[in-house]
Amino acid sequence: MILSGELSSGDALGEEALAEKCGVSRTPIRDALRRLEAELLVRRTESQRSFVAHWSLDDVSDAFELRAMLEGYAAKRAAERMDDATLQQLKACNKAIWVAIKGTEADVDTFLDRNREFHALILETASSRRLSSLLGVLIEQPVIWRTAHHYSREAFEQSHKEHDDLLSAFERHDGPWAEAVMAGHIRRAFHAYSDAHRGMLAEREAA
């Protein structure tokens, strides 16, 4: 519900209401809220009330900077371990991304799903449980998913092109090249996010 935007920043998360909505007891809800708090998606007040966390632009910038470093390293490891079957899966993902963005209006949900799959395959190929654990929190940012619906066509097309560059590095098992491309890819994605974020704020102010 947080990732989809059904629950927004600042929304209260009452255990009883969530338990009823999810059809479970309050115990698993309490456990889930603790996990979401650890993943920075939920904040808990001194009175022990839980709310959907708010992410400022500085918070998002910090997360992207960490992602650039960690996913760059993951891409390096993945390039050194890449096999043909995984490479073909990555190519199929990027082809699906192109189909999603080439129409008159981009299919943003499909773009996000396939983009997520593309990056997950790279992380899986990197074969590092620590990297997977660290990046899991950084990648699942609900604010990014919601803002992506306001990205420009150029942002989508550039993302696809950068994936192609990554595929070229993977084909050659060139770790340093893959690391450099991935780091730049994540940094460019942050600027696409910040541009869209500013555009959304301008629209609200105009309204």
CA angle 40, 45, 47 (to 5 degrees): 150
pLDDT score at 36: 87
The two most distant CA atoms of the chain are separated, in Å, by 55
- The C-alpha atoms of residue 15 and residue 121 are separated, in whole angstroms, by 35
Is the Cα dihedral 187, 164, 115, 76 positive or negative?
A: negative
Query: Which residues on adjacent β-strands are paired with residue 52?
Result: 42
Walk me through the domains of the chain, giving residue ranges and CATH numbers.
15-52 (no CATH), 57-206 (1.20.120.530)
CA distances for 27 relative to 33, 46, 107, 142, angstroms: 10, 20, 38, 25
Q: Which two tokens stand for residue 91?
A: 């190519």
pLDDT score at 162: 97
Residue 146 near residue 5, CB atoms below 8 Å? yes
- The C-alpha atoms of residue 144 and residue 46 are separated, in whole angstroms, by 28
Residues 6+ apart with CB under 8 A from 100: 106, 107, 108, 110, 111, 114
Residue 39 near residue 53, CB atoms below 8 Å? no
pLDDT score at 137: 66
CA angle 36, 40, 45 (to 5 degrees): 85
pLDDT score at 185: 95
pLDDT score at 121: 96
Read off φ and ψ for residue 12, nearest 5 degrees: -75, 145
Task: Please count the residues of the chain.
Answer: 207
User: pLDDT digits over 10-37, tens only?
Assistant: 899 999 999 999 999 999 999 999 988 8
Q: Which two tokens stand for residue 178?
A: 């893959």
User: pLDDT digits over 97-123, tens only?
Assistant: 999 999 889 999 899 999 999 999 999
Residuewise pLDDT in 10s, the chain (207 residues): 876 667 877 899 999 999 999 999 999 999 999 988 877 788 899 888 999 887 777 878 888 899 999 999 999 999 999 999 999 999 999 999 999 999 889 999 899 999 999 999 999 999 999 998 888 766 656 566 667 777 889 999 999 999 999 999 999 999 999 999 999 999 998 888 888 877 766 776 776
Mean pLDDT, the chain, rounded, equals: 88
CA angle 115, 112, 70 (to 5 degrees): 50
